[in-house]
Each structure stands twice: as C-alpha cells, then as structure tokens.
Amino acid sequence: MNVLSLIRRKRDGETLSGDEIRALVAAYTRDEVPDYQMAAFLMAGFIRGFVDAEAFALYEAMLHSGEVLDLRDIPGIKVDKHSTGGVGDKLSLILAPVAAACGVPVPMISGRGLGHSGGTLDKLESIPGFNVNLDLDRYRRVLAEHRMVLIGQTETIAPADKRLYALRDVTATVECIPYIAASIMSKKMAEGIDALVLDVKVGNGAFMRTEADARRLAERLVAIGTAAGKPTIAYLTDMDTPLGHAIGNWIEVEESLAVLAGGGPADVRELSLLLAGTMIYLGGQAESVEAGIALGARAIEDGSALQAFIGLAAAQDADITCLLHPERYPQAPHQLVVAADRDGWITGMDTFAIGMAAVELGAGRLRKEDRIDPVAGIRLQAKTGDHVKAGQPLAVLLGSDAERTRAQVGAVAAAYRFGDRAPEPKPLVLGRIDPILGGNPLE
C-alpha cells in the first residue's frame, strides 16, 4: 500500500477500492500511518466525497478494527438507540429502562458531550458512583441480569473510530456524512445489537441544520444497518427548540426520573415513548410501533420502568439515594433568573446558543481536560410558542461560579425571539426513514 498514492488519488477525485480503504484504516490503527498523512486523506475525502461503496468500506474497516461482540448467548433481540445530539436530549435515560421493562435487552454504548450537545455518560456520572467504565465481562453480566447496560466506548470497541474522531475534531473534518455515519455505525454494530433505532436531530441546535442534510445522514445510517442485516429505523426530530425544560447533567437526570414516574415535559414523554415503542416493536415484544408505545406507557404507569433504571444504577455501583430522593441532591449555589423584557409570543429560540451557555456554566467542556459540574445548567421556564409578560422568567441559570453564571445572562436572553403573534406549531417528529414499515406509524 502506497499511502501517498491513496491521498493523491482521493485528492484528484478518484474512487478507491474497498480493499484500499480497509488497508489504510488498519495500518493507521496499527500506528503504521502518521497523523499528518491520515489528516491529509481525511481532508481530501471531506472535499471530494465518497461513493457508497467507499463509505461502506470505511464503516467496515472501523467496525473490524477491534472486537465485535457476540451476545447471542443472552436471550432476546438486542436493540439500541442512537441520537445525533442535541440540547436537553436525555432520552436514553428514559427509553432504555422503558424498553428493558418491556422485555427488550438494551446494550447501550454511549458518548460524552460534544460541543454544545450534552452527553449521556456525563449525565449518568452526575449520579454519585455510577460506573460507565465496565469491562466487557461485566457488561455482559449486567445486561443479562437487568436487560440493559449503559457504558462508554472501550479500548477494544472500534478503536479506529476513537483515533479518527480525535483527528477529525482538530482538522475541521467533522461535518462529513460518510465520516459521521461510519463513526456511529461502527460503534453500534460492534456492541452486539440485533436492531437499531436512530434519532437524527434537525435544526439550529443540531449538527444537521437542514432537513435535507439530516435526511441524507439518516438514509446513509439506515442503509448501513440494513446491509449489516440489522433492522434499522431512523426518525428525523426537531431541534430548533431544546427538548424538555432541563439542560445540564443532574437536572436532566432529575427530569428523566420525573418522566419515568409518569410526569415530566410533554415533548420528552412523546419522543421517549415513540423511540421506546419502536425499540419494543423491533425487539419482538409488540406487533406494531403503536402497540410498543402502549406497552411503554404501561411500563411507566405501573412503575416498572423507573424500578428498572434504579436497579441498573445500583448494578453499576451508583448510590441510588438521590434517585429515590432527588430533593436531597446538592443544589447549584448560584441561581440567576433571565426575565423577558417585553410582552409577547416566543416565536423562536437559538438552541445552539442556549446549549453553549450551558457549556459555559460548566455543564460541558470547553477543553478536553475540563471537569463537568454536575449541578450546572439551565432550567427553561418558557419555550417557543409560549406567551410571556415583561418581567416573567424565561430561564434560571444554575452554576457553581458566580461570575461565570452572571456572564451567561445576556447570552440566554438574546437566544429568545419575540413577536406579536403566536408562531405556527411545528411537529416534533419531522419524518422517518426505514425499509421495514413505510409510512408514518402515528397516522
């Protein structure tokens, strides 16, 4: 293999063979290709693009760069869910226990926050003692006993993805659909699942800002899952407005507990039940998505979903006191209200700006080495479509540093747009891509 030749050919727009791409990724994973050459290849591919066969070969190379788990010894159809990231997206903490309580094993390998988007692992680690770093033997044991497990990426699961993502992050090559698809699907297919549900976010708080881009990504993800023999359904969901009222880590766990207890914000409940219902359907526990939604709702009503989450947390070393008594969790020492400066309808929100304000408060990382503040975040008091009076609270900022908290008041206030008439309602679910059902399961 001549790496320089591969870079040159991709730079000039040529199509590489699957064997060439697989050999390149394998050599890079073995430290036989330096970062500077791989960075050049990534930029060439970013600019020139990849045909479908090249993109699929990239996914295969990343998948087989490490261990591909075999969970056939654990009964049931294993189903996972992946979100492309958004603001206030705590759905994994809800739908995993809902699906598990309905008999569907959920082996979930999650990520940390990225940019303005919060991460499932950071939310879980706000629960004292919660261990997301289980080895694969314990991963299997917890899954077998509790029908779900929530951990982070291990050193042996898709190691090429871990290295390539770090390189993409510092070479301005993140926003490339073949790279995003290969990254997501290599990890998901390696974790031992039989089927997958995808939540592809669309809007100013998502990585895919337009519905056209989100649809292209969803179609690529579904195509990879289908080609791998894993039934895959993707939903396009709105991220022009934050999901729920809580943006942060512990406060999103708290909101998840409220939903599992039968309350919580309507948008979080709706989307959690749709995704969980689809998982229950793909997991063979319901004859349709609608039936899966009904089963999921019953698991919340009878308390089995909440008990499943508490049982999992205990199995992963958490102190469950705060889950049983959320009111005992430490509160942020600095809490500032952002108030409306006029009467009117909230016609829109800069969701990206709100996500970045939460990061600045300490709920995310500005640098790799930053420590997450579990109590930092934003509690929204009003969202798009609400009518407010001047002086009415729009949001409450939570932080551990007074100056850092004050500094975000202006940014959050500026993220709200006002008008004299109510905005047109926008659906939460914008579309679905799948080769299985066709149509809209909610019609």
d(C-alpha 220, C-alpha 232), whole Å = 11
Residue 240 bears catalytic tag? no
Catalytic one of 81, 82, 220, 245: 82
N-to-C CA span, the chain: 53
- The angle subtended at Cα 154 by Cα 151 and Cα 158, nearest 5°, is 120
Residue 161 bears catalytic tag? yes
Residue 12 bears catalytic tag? no
Catalytic one of 140, 147, 168, 379: 168
Residue 215 bears catalytic tag? no
Catalytic one of 117, 183, 256, 272: 183
| Assigned token pair, 35 | 């970062």
Residue 168 bears catalytic tag? yes
Using alpha carbons, list the distances in angstroms from residue 312 to 183, 292, 296: 27, 22, 18
Q: Which of 77, 72, 63 is nearest to 190 (CA)?
A: 63
Beta-strand runs (E) in 28-182: 79-83, 106-110, 148-152
Q: Which of 193, 275, 255, 176 is nearest to 230 (CA)?
A: 193
Using alpha carbons, list the distances in angstroms from residue 301 to 7, 287, 305: 57, 21, 9
Catalytic one of 10, 90, 162, 187: 187
Confirm if 62 and 157 have CB atoms less than 8 A apart. no
Residue corresponding to tokens 């407005």: 241
Q: Which of 398, 421, 248 is nearest to 348 (CA)?
A: 421
Catalytic residue positions? 82, 161, 168, 183, 187
